[in-house]
Amino acid sequence: MSRRLRSALPETAKVEEIVQSLKSRNIGVLIISHSLDQVFKLSDRICVLRRGKQIGIRKTSETNKNEIVSMITGVN
CB atoms inside a 10 Å sphere around CB 48:
18
Distance, CA of 40 to CA of 64 (rounded, Å): 9
Q: What counts of helices (H) and strands (E) characterise the chain?
A: 3, 2
Phi and psi angles of residue 25, each rounded to the nearest 5 degrees, phi first: -100, 15
Asked if 59 and 68 count as a contact pair (C-beta separation under 8 A), the reply is no
At 7 the pLDDT is 54
What does the chain come to in residues?
76
Asked if 47 and 69 count as a contact pair (C-beta separation under 8 A), the reply is no
* Domain map (residue ranges) of the chain: 1-27, 31-76
At 34 the pLDDT is 86
| List of the chain residues with pLDDT < 70 | 1-8
